[in-house]
Amino acid sequence: MVAAPSCPPALRQEVNLSAFTTWKVGGPAEWFAEPGDQAELIALAAWAHSQGLALRCIGAGSNLLIADAGVPGLTLCNRRLQGSRLEAHTGLVEAEAGEPLPTLARKAARLGLSGLEWAVGIPGTVGGAVVMNAGAQGGCTADWLVSVRVLDPAKPEAPFDLQGHELDFAYRHSRLQAESWIVLSATFRLDAGHDPASVTALTSANLHSRTSTQPYQQPSCGSVFRNPEPQKAGQLIESLGLKGLQIGEAQVSPIHANFIVNTGAARAADIAALIQDVQGRVMASHGIALQPEVKRLGFEPGR
């Protein structure tokens, strides 16, 4: 397909997004690019704005379900937007949006910076963690975030900063979920002065705990549902005997009931149908409406 005139050279058309999600499902992006730095991302956003195209950004592709039909407009993948700066004496950490959370957690541990030990097993990026207020094992992004730099697709030439208290953080929620802004970078302040060996040991123990109790060997998005505190989504699903429940090649994991895995060639439609089926069964038996953590792209509202 011939590219539109004056489009940036980094752009590609009709790129299948299944290779960019941890579920390994999803149709094509009308336009797609992987910016290598913030300047390139801003230029791509400006081009999309000039063309009147919808703009969205994905990171590691975890916690994301993309429709089989794909998505219109420009999809940016920030996984090349990596890099970080850590100050051992102050605990200040600045990270690009595409920096993998496990990488940042290990870097912090090696400097004796405590606060991200929980993040080592989360297969996401810094940008996604801020948007979702990612967390695990008693910790979450909001606990340590100082500020975030974002870009408004309607005004791509003027990135701006938001302080942590402006993000309306709650359990697996931030203000950014309701905005079209794209995260460029984030700043954290961790707890400095700890023994690097001790922080590293705890970080490694947290990773072992997750990998030994969750289906890390199969494509998944991580946890599918938010925990309806004080209940746990996985326990509610397991109590109904739903481990192993399958639609197409999408399956409720036999290892952890709050995971849906792709057993081979699942379609996004299979996963969406299985999510809906589990929600219906939990509501019928427990009267609890499970809320997905999963962000959907390309689906009709309510589907």
Catalytic residue among 34, 94, 96, 293: 293
Instruction: Please answer whether residues 124 and 134 qualify as being in contact, where contact means their C-beta atoms are separated by less than 8 angstroms.
Output: yes
**Averaged pLDDT, 245-269:** 97
Residue type, 272: A
Q: 12-77 in CATH: which number? A: 3.30.43.10
CA separation, residue 145 to residues 135, 136, 190, 207 (Å): 12, 15, 9, 22
260-298 pLDDT per residue, tens: 999 999 999 999 999 999 999 999 999 999 999 999 999
Residue 109 · residue 130 · CB < 8 Å:
no
CA dist list (Å): 245 to 23, 62, 140, 200, 273: 17, 22, 30, 38, 12
Which of these, 241, 230, 269, 189, lies nearest to 23 by C-alpha position? 269
Domain 84-212: CATH class, spelled out: alpha beta
Q: Are strands 182-189 and 92-96 parallel, antiparallel or unpaired?
A: antiparallel
Average pLDDT over residues 51-76: 96
Which pLDDT band, with edges at 50, 70 and 90, does 23 fall under? very high
Over its C-alpha atoms, the chain yields an Rg (Å, rounded) of: 19
| Domain residue ranges in the chain | 12-77, 84-212, 216-288
Q: Are strands 139-140 and 84-86 parallel, antiparallel or unpaired?
A: unpaired
Q: Is the pLDDT of residue 144 over 70?
A: yes
Q: Does the pLDDT of residue 91 top 70, yes or no?
A: yes
List alpha helices for 15-125, DSSP H.
38-51, 101-110
- pLDDT for the residue numbered 147: 98
Cα dihedral sign for 171, 200, 215, 262?
Answer: positive
pLDDT reading at 301 higher than 90: no
Nearest to 61 by CA among 11, 18, 28: 18
Residues 175 and 19: their CA atoms lie apart, in Å, by: 28
63: nearest Cα among 275, 264, 238, 234: 275
Q: Can you give the pLDDT at residue 300?
A: 74
CA distance between the termini of the chain:
31
Please state which of the four CATH numbers 3.40.50.720, 3.90.78.10, 3.40.50.1000, 1.10.10.10 is assigned to the domain occupying 216-288: 3.90.78.10
The stretch 140-153 carries a mean pLDDT of: 97
Side-chain half-sphere of 108: how many Cα atoms within 13 Å? 32
Please say if 110 is a catalytic residue.
no
Distance CA 44, CA 138 (A): 38
Catalytic residue check, 172 = yes
Which of 56, 223, 253, 267 is flagged as catalytic? 223
CA distance 298 to 72: 8
Taking 50 as the threshold, does the pLDDT of residue 189 lie above it? yes
Tell which wins on pLDDT, 212 or 21.
21
Q: Residue 6 has what pLDDT?
A: 62
Q: Chain-wide mean pLDDT for the chain?
A: 94
In degrees and rounded to multiples of 5, residue 129 shows phi and psi of: -65, -40
Is 223 annotated in the active site? yes
Give the integer Cα–Cα distance in Å for 275 and 154. 33
pLDDT at 303 over 60: no
Q: Is the pLDDT of residue 120 over 70?
A: yes
The catalytically annotated residue of 172, 174, 185, 220 is 172
